[in-house]
Structure 1
Amino acid sequence: MKIVILSRNPKLYSTKRLHEAGVKRKHEMLILDHTKCDLIIEKKKPAIVYNNELITDVDAIIPRIGASVTFYGTAVVRQFEMMKAFSVVESQALVRSRDKLRSLQILSRANLGLPKTVFTNYSKDTSEVIKKVGGAPLIIKLLEGTQGLGVVLAETKKAAESVLEAFNGLQARVIVQEFIKEAKGADIRAFVVDGVVVGAMKRQGKEGEFRSNLHRGGTAEIIELSEEEENAALKAAKVMGLGVAGVDMLQSDRGPLILEVNSSPGLEGIEKATQKDIAKSIIRYIERNV
């Protein structure tokens, strides 16, 4: 099979591992920078040109689209879909997952546990917003943030009001969420491939850090999910329409609470924590569907 990995950096761990796993299983693997793909839109003849070469006969694609280039990256994925290539992450699901607010609404409609969240249209009544999530401490998140960037823990009502006023003044869209104290700065990432949890890890924020992202110095260890946690992860990936997903959850007194469903989850943390070949699982997912 001819499989294209859409990635801006061939040296990234995830890109390299997917390439290795595909070659090992005797596939022709190509790495293309989606931001450098030209799309030709014509009646019944959609085409993609890369470095002045026509890209043809692609069986499947693995999108690794960064949040900053979601718009163009999704257009490239859609073009490959029009050319009848199977995509590990469908263009519609990619768009859905990148919209944090829409994602939370979809998860809420599916009756999944979530931290209480408030979104307003730059409301001046910050104290009322704070009250709606149960007061301080609370979490304030930029709708565009990734890898823990743009996430603030406001420990007091005064601090929360200052941060909200600052973001509102910058016309930055934010959501306000209740702080889950019993999670103790840790979260769980469940890695779902084709309706199966292929690996799970518990990420712990470093001392004095409430964000558990590995990019921010957090640590990870393998974890066995409870039945409730596994079901929540599978249901979240399914309602988001994602064949491959990293589902981030908090352990709370009222069960698992979904934080986010990631459509381009990194492989490094999960493979090192679980010692599992997740890249191979993704290649096998393609083999089953093409």
Structure 2
Amino acid sequence: MNIVILSRNTNLYSTERLIEEGEKRGHQIEVIDPLKCDLIIEKEKPTIFYKDRYLDYVDAIIPRIGASVTFFGCAVVRQFEMMNVFTSVTSDAIIRSRDKLRSFQRLSKAGIGMPKTVFTNYSRDIEKVLSHVGGTPVIIKLLEGTQGLGVVLAETKNAAESVLEAFNGLQARALVQEFIAEAKGADIRALVVDGHVVGAMKRQGKEGEFRSNLHRGGSAEIIKLNEAEIKVAMNAARALKLPVCGVDILQSARGPLLLEVNSTPGLEGIEKATGKNIAKSIITYIERNKH
């Protein structure tokens, strides 16, 4: 098969591993920068031109689209879909998952437990907003934030007011979410491929840090999920129609709570923490489903 990885950097761990496992299984793997693609839209013959050639020989794609290039990156994925090329994650699913508000609405409708969350249209009545999530401390998240950026812990009403006023002043939309103290700065990342959890790790934020993201200095270790946690991960992937995704879960006194779903999860942390060959799982998923 001719498999294209849509990535802006060939040297990223995740991209390198997908190349390695794909070639091991006899596929032709090519890395293409989505931002350098020209989309040619014409009647009955959508095509993509890249550097000096038409990409009309591609069998399957693996999108590794960064949050900052979601709009054009997803347009490229959609163009491949129009050309009947199989994709490990659809453009619609990536867009859905990147919109935190939209994805939370879908996930709550699917009956998945989450920390209480409030979204308002630049509300001035901050006290009312805080009361909806049980008062301070609260987590305030930018709708567009990623990798722990744009996530603030406000421990007091005054702090929450300051942060929300700053975000409102910048016209940046934010969610207010209850703080789950018993999680103690840790969360679980479960990697789902084709409806199954293929690896899970527990990430612990560094001392004094409530965010557990690994590139913020957190640490990770392998964890065996209980049935409730597996169910949350699988249901979240199904609700957002993401065959390949990372599902972040908090362990709380009232059971597992969904934190976020990532449509292009990095492989380095989870492969190193679990010793599992996640890249191979993604390649074999494509083999099973590419008709």
Asked whether 1:171 is paired with 2:171, we answer: yes
Separation in 2, partners of 1:84, 1:131: 49
What is the correspondence of 1:123-272 to structure 2 with a 5 Å cutoff? 123-272=123-272
Residue of structure 1 in register with 2:88 after alignment: 88
Separation in 1, partners of 2:99, 2:112: 17
The Cα of 1:131 is off from its aligned counterpart by 1.3
Separation in 2, partners of 1:243, 1:58: 20
Separation in 1, partners of 2:177, 2:109: 18
Separation in 2, partners of 1:168, 1:92: 28
Aligned length: 290
Task: Determine if contact 1:249/1:259 at 8 Å carries over to the other structure.
Answer: yes
User: Does 15-24 or 162-171 show the bigger shift?
Assistant: 162-171
Q: TM-score, normalised by structure 2?
A: 0.99
Q: Deviations over 1:238-273 (max 9, x none)?
A: 110001010001000111110111000000000000
The Cα of 1:128 is off from its aligned counterpart by 1.1
Separation in 2, partners of 1:12, 1:285: 21
Give the secondary-structure state (helix, strand or coil) at the position aligned to 2:146: coil
Residue of structure 2 in register with 1:100 after alignment: 100
Amino acid at match of 2:240: M
Over aligned residues, Cα RMSD in angstroms? 0.6
Separation in 1, partners of 2:166, 2:126: 11
Residue of structure 2 in register with 1:45 after alignment: 45
Residue of structure 2 in register with 1:59 after alignment: 59
Residue of structure 1 in register with 2:110 after alignment: 110
Task: Determine if contact 1:140/1:154 at 8 Å carries over to the other structure.
Answer: yes
Task: Determine if contact 1:139/1:153 at 8 Å carries over to the other structure.
Answer: yes
Separation in 1, partners of 2:283, 2:164: 44
Separation in 2, partners of 1:150, 1:167: 10
Q: Deviations over 1:201-250 (max 9, x none)?
A: 00000000000000100000000000000011001001100010100010
Separation in 2, partners of 1:48, 1:279: 26
The Cα of 1:53 is off from its aligned counterpart by 1.2
Amino acid at match of 1:236: A
What is the correspondence of 1:27-46 to structure 2 with a 5 Å cutoff? 27-46=27-46
Gaps of 5+ in 2: none
Residue of structure 2 in register with 1:273 after alignment: 273
Q: Deviations over 1:67-106 (max 9, x none)?
A: 0110100100011111111100011111100100000000
Give the secondary-structure state (helix, strand or coil) at the position aligned to 2:17: helix
Task: Determine if contact 1:214/1:220 at 8 Å carries over to the other structure.
Answer: yes
Residue of structure 2 in register with 1:12 after alignment: 12
Give the secondary-structure state (helix, strand or coil) at the position aligned to 2:58: coil
Separation in 1, partners of 2:75, 2:100: 19
Amino acid at match of 1:180: I
Q: TM-score, normalised by structure 1?
A: 0.99
Q: Deviations over 1:1-48 (max 9, x none)?
A: 000000000000000000111000000001000011100011111111
Give % identity.
Answer: 73
Amino acid at match of 1:83: M
Amino acid at match of 1:32: I
The Cα of 1:52 is off from its aligned counterpart by 2.4
Amino acid at match of 2:182: E
Q: Deviations over 1:133-159 (max 9, x none)?
A: 111111000011100000000011111
Gaps of 5+ in 1: none
Task: Determine if contact 1:126/1:165 at 8 Å carries over to the other structure.
Answer: no
